[in-house]
Chain A
Amino acid sequence: MKPAPFVRHVPRTLDQALAILSQVAGQDGRILAGGQSLVPIMAFRLAKPAHLIDINEVAGLDQLASDGKMLSIGARVRHAAFHAPVADNRLAALLTYVAHHIAHYPIRMRGTFCGSLAHADPASEWCLTAATLGATMIAMSQRGTREIAAKDFFEGIMATALAEDELLAEVRLPLLASDAKFGFYEFNRRAGDFAMASSLVTYRIVDGKIAEARVGVGGAESAPRRITEAETALNGATPDDDAFRAAAEAARDAIDPLEDHQTDAAYRRDLVRAVVRRALEHSLT
């Protein structure tokens, strides 16, 4: 249970980090941010990176800023930064609620928002959040900077659109309307464990009807995504139990369920139905 040997690089600036990354990316070089997912898989020797670029000393990566439209989250912003709302916006309330479901307190002290996205565990709360809200990923390398939409970013289990020499330098989340509703629910067998299914929903109520519904499902497929069928079931409907049940059943039917030793496809579908309905019920509390 000891990580394999590696060379540690400690850049002090973003330019230095990108320069080192471009040099060692081809030799299994990886970014080390919070390390709360990477170090465990190194302990198991599932990952044996030859080089680690530790970005904990890079100046400026801990920025958390809002321009009135988007919230920008730097590469080293820890989960714990969201323990209390980071802005005067419904998005901040949503992030605080979701953050408290991530692993455990000491893990949240170290783990980072962007690191979770780059790691792309299907059960990740932040990956679900990014997919549901339509985050924009800012990928930087020595070749330049590009923006990647959340729908194009997650490519499968621990697989993203990031090239090996790219650093996920920042993620931008759109702020929510002041009357936005949100709900979140995840199912796991022990507190803090990986979610076996999770759902995040947002919508507004216009003239008594649901509008602009977003229904995200995580932990159930190889990557989190919005479920259009469930959103269609909600938009224009009265926010009540009938609409919530219909959306939950639509999500259940729409997914391509992951299977593992403790969860077969039928059970995963049933979990998805339950978490979507409970997330919707949470939105009214």
Chain B
Amino acid sequence: MTDKSPLTLTINGRDHAIAVEARRTLADAIREDCGQTGTHIGCEHGICGACTVIVDGEPVRSCLMFAVQAEGRQIRTVEGLADGETLHVMQQAFMDHHGLQCGFCTPGFLMLAVGVLEREPDISDDDLLDVLSSNLCRCTGYQNIIKAVRAAADEMRK
């Protein structure tokens, strides 16, 4: 049962042919097998949200999915946000509003906020605040993250 099975993960539109055990989490496969280390791993049990990625349009905890469950699905990670040298409006807003310090939680917050706003562009401010309670940040005290996401939300609605 520790046999590895061949598998193709599609991350930011690019196919990665890998071989993993069934128990390999999507988070580990993205980082270790596909080399996309922008996705961070914090708690490994679904509490911190650092590993949040977008799978088929849904923001999910990649530590709570197995890689084999993501075959054939469109996976988006922080590496896919920017368009060349141009940052995604959410990334730019985090810079403009000082929404990060150490940056460890940032990829998770970015994918959470982008994933939710793409699904629900007109989400209420209260609900957006509730969404941002999904992820943990140990540096900023959240206020600047909230400011950044609100600003980006306004931008994304235009």
Contacts and interface: CB of A to CB of B under 8 A. Distances in A.
Q: Do A and B come from one complex?
A: yes
Interface in A176-195: 191-192
A104 interface: yes
What range describes how many residues of B lie at the interface? Answer: 20 to 34
A26 B2 CA distance: 20
Interface stretch (B9-17, B65-73, B77-85, B90-98): B65-73
B22 A52 contact: yes
A177 to B, nearest CB: 29
A110 B46 CA distance: 12
Contacts of B1: 5-7, 50
B23 A107 contact: no
Given A5-B21, A35-B65, A36-B64, A106 B2 contact: no
A105 B116 contact: yes
What range describes how many residues of A lie at the interface? Answer: 20 to 34
Contacts of B64: 35-36, 39-40, 107, 110
Contact of B59 (A39, A42, A54, A105): A105
Nearest to B44: A1
A50 B59 CA distance: 29
The winner among A2, A4, A44, A50 for most chain B CB atoms within 10 A is A2
B46 to A, nearest CB: 5
A258 interface: no
Contacts of B115: 106
A43 interface: yes
Interface of A: 1-8, 35-36, 39-40, 42-44, 50, 52, 54, 56, 80, 100, 104-107, 109-110, 191-192
Interface of B: 1-2, 21-23, 25, 28, 44-46, 49, 52, 58-61, 63-66, 68-69, 112, 115-116, 130-131, 133-135
20 contacts: A2-B25, A2-B44, A3-B25, A5-B1, A5-B23, A6-B22, A7-B1, A8-B68, A36-B46, A39-B63, A39-B65, A40-B46, A43-B44, A43-B45, A56-B69, A104-B134, A105-B130, A106-B49, A110-B58, A110-B60
Given A43-B45, A100-B130, 5 more contacts: A5-B21, A54-B69, A105-B131, A110-B64, A191-B133
